[in-house]
Structures are given as structure tokens and as C-alpha cells.
Amino acid sequence: MRKHHLSSADFSQLQFDNQFIKQLPADVETENYSRQVINSCYSFVNPRVVTAPQLVCYSPEMAQLLDLTEQDCNSPLFTQVFTGNALLAGMQPYALCYGGHQFGQWAGQLGDGRAINLGEVVNQQGQRFTLQLKGAGKTPYSRNADGLAVLRSSVREFLCSEAMHHLGIPTTRALSLTLTGEAVLRDMFYDGHAKHEAGAVVCRVAPSFSRFGSVQIFAARNDTVLLKQFLDYTIRTDFPHLGDPSVATYLTWFEEVCRRTAALIVHWQRVGFVHGVMNTDNMSLLGLTIDYGPYGWLENYDPNWTPNTTDGDLRRYCFGRQPKIAQWNLTQLANAIYPLVGRIKPLEEALQVYVTSFAQGWEKMMAEKLGFLSYQATTDAPLIDELLDCLTLTETDMTLFYRLLAHCDVSDLDKQASWFEILLPAYYQPQQLTGEIKARLAQWLRAYGQRLQQDNLSNAARQQRMNAVNPKFVLRNYLAQLAIDKADTGDFSMIEQLLDALRHPYAEQPQYEAFAQKRPDWAKNRAGCSMLSCSS
């Protein structure tokens, strides 16, 4: 199909504003080939035309935010547009220029290597959204890659984007998942075993896709003019409540980024989400979860676990290190805006805002997970420390443990035998619950029960509080892989079922009980269920 602009009568409810490209400088080179892009925030580039676009699924909630109807989303036009074969009136596709630190080392220019922004829309409520296609072809930032994506990684991104939103975690969203009808060659684990896989495109949606690396690239190039222009635009557009840009505003802005980042990481730790590749180019200036690559969910509680094969030795981005890595990344952002601020101390003070915000947020979050009315440092700090140690004594499913703990009747501290029965499904190897481990758990449960009695909450009230923050349903790695396996045969039913179940992660939903079970033995070491590569 020949790419063309459609008349304004098509999806006329999508009102394109495109302030980013109106206010910031574009790459003067219009040819689409890999290169260093200087003195520019983006490059104009069109999505690749594909042979046989097919809609796999879409998010009704995200469509509604964009003022799109069910009829719109099921139309052939929708599939053509959000696979990249057609452009609506007002769309001006472009790819972003940014840099970043990857695994602690400055990597220079990175940019949107397989993402193309279609434009910015403003909905009927005045909310701004950037529509972005991931997997829609090469850009000037693709380096030696093809700019494409495959079905397995696209299913994971589509489902997790929406799952995180419904968990109450700041995230980029997903509007649609489509097949291209073309095969893509991928070496999943970079081990010389490449094979052809189904090509796919996800339409990602966010108020902005700006990253820490979007600021860093201009600082690294000593381009303070463009650094200031980009930061001023970001403040005016995405942080208008901070007022007109100035040195004082830059510091206030940085403090807010620190607070948002702290809140984001607290959420990740709450539900056991591991990003897997927290490079500075994968950190959102808006405090959103961004770039779903080799992510994973803690199943057995292990602070040293990472889903990323590339990080398997150093474990830089493992679950337990995420808070410190976020602080390190914020330090790199502080270094990047230093030329505009000119003073070290206020930047250091802002970084301390992250440390304080995370510590306070983590304490409050853990108190909520355990059903306490508030965090009491004297009693709760040692109680939480001991619990986290107990969770590592034998393989313990994090999600199930907290969910089942809410069901324990703590009105009688002598009923701990019944508590063990309730918690038993959370253990992967129940036979490993030795007398010593049981004694330690029993001691913790008694201390926990005594602490709960201080709050004088009924079991029902405590359970309601705990179930509001401890999800029953998360996108377990093996569930995503099962959905991918079915999708590879042309059966997309499990994607739809998971999407539906993950809309209400804190509800019981007995019809989806099978999605709330712990990881089966077959999935422990299977590719896609345990470790993933950056191409996943």
C-alpha cells in the first residue's frame, strides 16, 4: 500500500498539535540513513510500509482517552495507520535524538532506533499525548539494526504497559498491537542461532517520551544553547505548573524529577517489577516506566534477580539495586543540567530529595503492604527486615505471599498453624520448610500479629487495606510466554484474556484464577519465562 495522507475527515477527533517539532530544531538532513545528528532534537522519518497489516488487539481504555470509538479501532484504516502504512492529516513522523549511559558507561548518541513518533494529539479534555510506533522501521538512529520488532517482544510491551497502568504505576501506555505480515530475522540470545519471527508494531502513547538522555546528549556535546532550549521547552510543556524557565525553575524542576523517580521506584519495589535495563536513555523525565525490554516480575523473592541476560554476571540492574541505580542515573542528569545552573550544592540538595523521598515512600509502602495504619520506625523497621530475610530462606512467591498474608486471622496469636496452611501455596518447595525455617517464620508471624493488634483493626478492614496494594494478578513471565506461544500459531485469545484480567489486578476475579498461580516448574529456566535478552 502506498503511503499517503488521508483527508481530515478520517479520525477527525485526533487533533494533532505537534508542539515538539514546532518549537525545537529538526535535523537538516532528510535522507534516512544512520549518522550522528548534530544541533537537532529529532529527525523527520516515515514509518516503513508493510505488506499485510493485521490488528491483534487494542486497549479500549487508551482508545477512549484518545476519543477513539470501538468502531474506529476495528476499522481497516486504524490497522493501516497504526502499523505505519498510512498517515492521517496532521501527522508529521519523526524520531528523537538522545544519548545515555548504558551499564554505567557513556554510550554517546543513541536515539529512537526502532521508534517513530507519529505526532502529538490533544484530546477533548485538553490532555496531550504523543503517538509512537515501535518496530516501524529504520531511523537515522538505528545504527546497524533494522528498526523492526517481533511479535514476542511486542506482546510483552503491549500487555505490560497496560498492566502497569492498572496497577497504579506511572507508565507509557499502549494503544494497539499489529502484525506486519512480514518476517524479521532475530538472534534472541545473540548466540548465533538466528531465526525468522513474525514482525509486529506497538503503538505506544505517553505525554512525552523525553528521557534523561534527551538532556545528556546536548550537555555531552557542550551545546548549552540547545540544552537550554530543550529544557525550557520541557518545563513549559510538561511542567507548566513550575512557571517560566529560570535557574531557580531548573532546580525546582530537577527536584520534581527526583521525587517522581523516587515514587516510581517505590511502586516497582511494591509489586516486584524489575525493569532489567535502567540505562539513562530508558529513564523518563516524567517519572514514567518506559521501554519494556528484558523486564520481569519477581516470582520467588530474590533481591539479586535480574531478567536481563546481558546483565547476568554483574547484576547491575537487579531488583535490589533499582533504588540505587535510579539515584546514580539522577546524578548523571544533575551533571547534564549543571551548565545551566552553575552551582553544585543545590543540585546535591535536590539529589538528597530523591534519597529522602524514596526512603519515606518505601517505609509507607511496606507498612501498607503489611496492613499497618502507619509506619512506626521502632517496631516496623526490624519487623520488615526480618520478613525480607525470611522470604529468602526458601523459594517464596512474593506476589502470593503478601496476598495470602492478608487472609491470616491474627485475632488469636495461638492459631499460627492455620497461618502456615494459608501461606503454603506461596512456597515453591514446601518440603524445604524445615523445622528451623518454620520456627523462624512462626516467630515472625507472632511478632507481626502483635504489631497488628496495636492498630486495633478488624481482620476484614486489614485485608481490604492489604488487597488494595498487594496485587493478585501481575504479568508473570510464564503467562506472557504462553500468550506468545499461542499468538505464534495465530491464536490471540490469551492476549485478550490477560489484558482483561490485568485490568483489575487487585480484585479476586475467580474466572481468571489460573492466572494467579505461581510459576510452574517447567517455566523456571525456560527462555522467555526466566531470562530475556535486550531483543526480547
End-to-end C-alpha distance for the chain, whole angstroms? 29
DSSP state of 128: E
Q: According to DSSP H, which parts of 221-277 are helical?
A: 224-238, 247-271
Ramachandran angles phi, psi of 359, nearest 5°: -60, -45
| Gap between the Cα atoms of 200 and 212, Å rounded | 27
Here the cell at position 65 is 482517552
Nearest to 257 by CA among 171, 162, 326: 326
| Gap between the Cα atoms of 59 and 13, Å rounded | 17
| Gap between the Cα atoms of 367 and 383, Å rounded | 10
| Gap between the Cα atoms of 48 and 476, Å rounded | 32
Q: How many angstroms separate the Cα of 66 from the Cα of each of 12, 30, 53, 214, 303?
A: 11, 30, 22, 26, 38
**Which H/E stretch holds residue 164?**
helix 151-166
Angle 23-102-31 (CA atoms, 0-180°, nearest 5)? Answer: 45
Angle 355-358-360 (CA atoms, 0-180°, nearest 5)? Answer: 105
| Gap between the Cα atoms of 473 and 490, Å rounded | 25
Question: b or e along 331-343 (b: 16 or more beta carbons within 10 Å of the residue's beta carbon)?
Answer: ebbbebbeebbee
Report, as residue numbers or ranges, the catalytic residues. 281
| Gap between the Cα atoms of 351 and 331, Å rounded | 7
Question: What residues have CB less than 8 Å from 42, skipping those under 6 apart?
Answer: 20, 21, 24, 26, 27, 94, 95, 96, 97, 117
Strand partners, 163: none
Single-letter residue type at 227: L
Helix (H, G, I), strand (E, B) or coil at 123: coil
Dihedral sign of CA atoms 78, 79, 80, 85 in order: positive
Which is it for strands 42-44 and 195-206: parallel, antiparallel or unpaired? unpaired
| Gap between the Cα atoms of 195 and 188, Å rounded | 8
Single-letter residue type at 337: I
| Gap between the Cα atoms of 401 and 180, Å rounded | 41
Nearest to 417 by CA among 393, 435, 442: 442
Strand partners, 205: 131, 173
The single residue listed with the C-alpha cell 500487555 is 159
CA atoms within 13 A on the CB side of 165: 22
